[in-house]
Structure 1
Amino acid sequence: MHIRRGREADLPQVLSLIQELAEYEKAPQEVTNTLADMQRDGFGPEPIFGFFVAEDTTSHIVGIALYYTAYSTWKGRMLYLEDLVVTEALRGTGLGKRLFDTVVAEARHTGAKRLKWQVLEWNEPAIGFYKKLGAHLDPEWHNGNLTAEQLLAYSCDPAAEAAVHG
């Protein structure tokens, strides 16, 4: 297996692995991201994410680690690991650790002060994986989200809209 920085041409296989992850997490209908979205957001004029891929000897992508830069008011620059996915047949082979190690190296390279990610509370294999790496899984924080529909329905103060557009 070879690990390298992701390229735009990889996106169809990356999106396929994202769908595989969603099926594993019992939420395939939740994937609304498209190839066009990923091309724009990862390779457009203002890229907002990066990724690494693991590919086999036939150049088939069998794992991904997708991340983006975030900012902590307390710590400064950080990387957020959005997804670490290894195709089901290769889980437990060490490929996930190699991808994770590559993201850690990227965090160091970019001067990040923290690397963050989430793991579902029922995903015991992933929890075990991260604990084996020495990671701290914080039980105190709750995740907050607004869906696309909720964002559209949310009633913003007119001054907020003016600040964004004006």
Structure 2
Amino acid sequence: MSDCPRLLELIIELAIFEREPDAVTVTLEEFEAAGFGPKPVWKAFVVEDNGIVVGFALYYIRYSTWKGQRLYLEDLVITEAYRGKGLGKLLFDRLIQETRELGFSGMVWQVLDWNEPAIKFYKKYEANIEAGWLNAALSKEQVINFK
């Protein structure tokens, strides 16, 4: 739990990189409760340098009616100064191991179509990058104001 403030900083760094600087609305309290409260929904692996978190991979369990239980990689983030040093590979390899250890039917995630470095990284693993799916969502406000 003590890493949560730093993880949230990295999440904001990711949102800025992904051209969505105002999209992060989760509070630190909500984030901590979701990971360490009575019903935790996410887990994460971190990489550190001299005791400071410089990257993380956050995941949760997803259920597919077609495939069964799968590990869903929500975020894989390495702070900019540490990119290209193999830390992303270290985390991604650990996620594959976790998927295997938990007996899941696979691992899934999303990548922005313009994020060429990430796409190149995933292609090294021979990942299937699908086209044709559109993301859909309702915001907290939309849910609250639903009539």
Q: TM-score range by the shorter chain?
A: over 0.9
Q: How does 1:10-49 map to 2 (within 5 A)?
A: 10-49=3-42
Give the superposition deviation at 1:48.
0.3
Q: Which residue number corresponds to residue 147 of structure 1?
A: 139
Give the superposition deviation at 1:112.
0.9
The alignment-based identity, stated in percent, is: 52
Give the superposition deviation at 1:81.
0.2
For structure 2, list consecutive stretches of 5 or more residues without a partner in the other structure.
none
Give the superposition deviation at 1:89.
1.0
**Residue 130 of structure 2 is aligned to residue 138 of structure 1:** yes
- Count, aligned residues: 147
Q: Which residue number corresponds to residue 52 of structure 1?
A: 45
* Equivalent residue in structure 1 for 2:101, among 97, 109, 112: 109
Q: Secondary structure at the match of 1:29?
A: coil
Per-residue Cα deviation, 1:24-45 (whole angstroms, up to 9, x for no partner): 1121111111110111110011
For structure 1, list consecutive stretches of 5 or more residues without a partner in the other structure.
1-7, 156-166
Over aligned residues, Cα RMSD in angstroms?
A: 1.0
Letter in 2 for 1:137: I
Give the superposition deviation at 1:140.
2.3
